[in-house]
């Protein structure tokens, strides 16, 4: 009877340890995901900014009225 209690306790301890490890892994993974999302959004913002700059550069070189106004 005492052996079975020890085995049960040992199994319970193992399961508790596994639960704690999984909780830690989940928290770490969520932090990594949040960091990657933040980096992704920054890259999207930079791409949008680059596209706006490219569009403005094309517009300013293709628009003679804008060049005339800027030269004045």
**Structural domain spans, the chain:** 2-71
Q: What is the pLDDT confidence band of residue 68, given thresholds at 50, 70 and 90?
A: low
- Contact criterion met (CB below 8 Å) for 59 and 66: yes
d(CA 60, CA 54): 10
Whether residue 56 has pLDDT greater than 80:
yes
- Contact criterion met (CB below 8 Å) for 10 and 17: no
Q: What is the pLDDT confidence band of residue 64, given thresholds at 50, 70 and 90?
A: low
pLDDT in tens, 1-55: 567 777 778 999 999 999 999 999 999 999 999 999 999 999 999 999 999 999 9
């Amino acid at each position: 009877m005492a052996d079975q209690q020890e085995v049960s306790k040992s199994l319970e301890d193992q399961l508790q340890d596994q639960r704690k490890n999984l909780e830690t892994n989940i928290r770490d993974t969520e932090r990594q995901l949040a960091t990657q999302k933040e980096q992704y959004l920054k890259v999207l913002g930079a791409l949008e900014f680059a596209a706006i700059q490219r569009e403005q550069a094309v517009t300013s070189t293709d628009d003679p009225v804008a060049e005339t106004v800027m030269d004045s």
